[in-house]
Structure 1
C-alpha cells in the first residue's frame, strides 16, 4: 500500500495546480528528451531515403527487388502489399511503457486516490488497482470498481479522472532508449504503424506532439475509438482495420499481461516489452525484449509469420554498395 503521505502530497499538489487556467501543460517549455527528433528532421529522413541510389555487386532475387524500389508516399498502402506479395505486416505500439517511459508506478494509484476522495468513494485495494491497470477508465469504474452503472455518471467520472491524471502527470514524457532507432527502421521500410492508448484522443495527441513523433505513426487509436478496453481485443482490432491489414499479420507491442491477453484474443502475435514487469512475467508473449531496437526487420517479419528477408541475401554473400 502506498504511504498516505504521498497521497496527501498529491492531493495538495492537485489543489494548487487546479487554480491554473484549465488543464494545461504545467511543465512550461521544459525540454522533453535529448532523444527527441523534430518534425523537419523526420521529413528529411524520408527525403534522404528516397533520394538514395544503389549500385549492386550482386543481382537481387526477384522476391527482394522491392528493397530497391523508390518509395512513393502517396501510394504507400498498395506498395506495401506488392513488395511482400501480400505478406507485409503492421506494427501496433502501445504508448506508455513501450514508446515512452512508464516513469511513476505510483501515479495511477495517486490519481484513483484523489478521485475517490473527491467523490466520497472507497479507495480501491491493491488487488483491484492491479486488475484495472491498463483498462479503459469507464470500464474500470463500471465493471470492476462498481462506482456507478449510469452512463452519464460514468462518463463524468472518467472525464474527471483524465483531468486529474493530466494535472498530476504534468505533460512530461521521456522517450525510451532505442525507440527512435526502431521507429526510423519502421519508417525506412514503410512498415505501417499505429499507436494505441487508453488515454483520450486529445491527451494522446498532446503527448505525441510533446515528443515530436507525429510523423512516425500512420494512425492512432484512443479511448474514444473503442467501447471495451483490455483484455477485450477491440482496441487492437480497430487498429488493424484502420491499417487495412489482417489481424494475423499484425504485431502488438505492450508491457503488460493484459496486453498479451488482448492481442491473443485479437488473433495477433505479441512482443512483450520488459519496461516495468520482469521478463518471466511476460513469457506468454511470442517474444520478449527490453528495448525496441533489439529487434531487426528480419525478426519482425519472422514474428509476423512471413518469410524472413535477409536470409537468402546472407547465404549468397550479397554485397550492396550505397552511393550518395
Structure 2
C-alpha cells in the first residue's frame, strides 16, 4: 500500500508546546479556584476541543459562549508564556518539507483553535505550507473521536487508510485508530508504551530520529 498523506497533530507534535500548556493551565486554574492538578488536567484535556476542555476542567455543563470566553483567556496565557521560547519539535519543518518533496500530501489536524494555529504557523514558517489545516473550533468532535483527522484527509483528497497520523497523545493515537489510519507516536510528552497500538508503525522522540531511520524512504514498505 502506498502512502498518500501525512497528517500532523500540532501541540507536542509539530511544536514543543506541552510544557507551556501545562504552565498556562496552572495559572488559569489559580485564577478560577480550580484544584485539579495540572497533570490530571492535561490527561483529561489533551486532544479535546476548547469547549470540551472547559467542561472537563470545571466538571459541569457550560454554555458555549462561556466556554469560548474561558478558552480565550487560557490560550492568551499560553501564547504569552510560550512566545519568548517558541520551539518546534526537533527536525519537524525539515521533515515535513522532505515529505512534501517526495509527493506526500501534508495536512494538520489539531484540537487547537484558529488563534493558536495562527500563532504556531507564523513562527514555524513551513515551506510548503500544509494543504489543509483542521482546527478544534470548527464544530467537530475532539479526539479520541476521529472527526478532525478524517476531515483533514477529506480536504486533501486522501484515503484514510493511506494516511499516516503523527501524534504525541493517547487520545490522538486512538483517534487515528478509529479513523482507520496508521500512526507515528511522537514521544515528546508520553512514553512509547503510553502511545502503543497495533496501528502505530514507529515511536520516536523527534524527527531527527525519523530521518536517521530513513522513515520516508521505507514508508511504503512499513505499510505493506
In structure 2, the CA distance between the partners of 1:153 and 1:271, relative to structure 1 (3 Å rule), is: same
CA RMSD in angstroms comes to 2.4
Larger CA Rg, structure 1 vs 2: 1
Match among 230, 236, 247 for residue 143 of structure 2:
230
Match among 199, 202, 206 for residue 287 of structure 1:
202
State yes or no: 1:247 paired with 2:155.
Answer: no
Deviation at 1:304, TM superposition (A): 4.1
Match among 101, 104, 109 for residue 188 of structure 1:
101
Query: TM-score, with normalisation over the residues of structure 2?
Result: 0.84
Secondary structure of 1:97's partner?
A: coil
Which residue number corresponds to residue 201 of structure 1? 114
Which residue number corresponds to residue 74 of structure 2? 161
Deviation string for 1:228-264 (max 9, x for gaps)? 2111111101111111111111100111211111111
In structure 2, the CA distance between the partners of 1:123 and 1:111, relative to structure 1 (3 Å rule), is: farther
Deviation at 1:211, TM superposition (A): 2.4
Deviation at 1:188, TM superposition (A): 1.4
Verify the 8 A CA contact 1:92 1:236 in the aligned structure 2.
Answer: yes
Alignment gaps of 5+ in structure 2? none
Verify the 8 A CA contact 1:94 1:195 in the aligned structure 2.
Answer: yes
Alignment gaps of 5+ in structure 1? 1-83, 306-324
Which residue number corresponds to residue 296 of structure 1? 215
Distance in 2, Cα, partners of 1:206 & 1:128: 23
Which residue number corresponds to residue 34 of structure 2? 122
Query: TM-score, with normalisation over the residues of structure 1?
Result: 0.60
Deviation at 1:267, TM superposition (A): 1.1
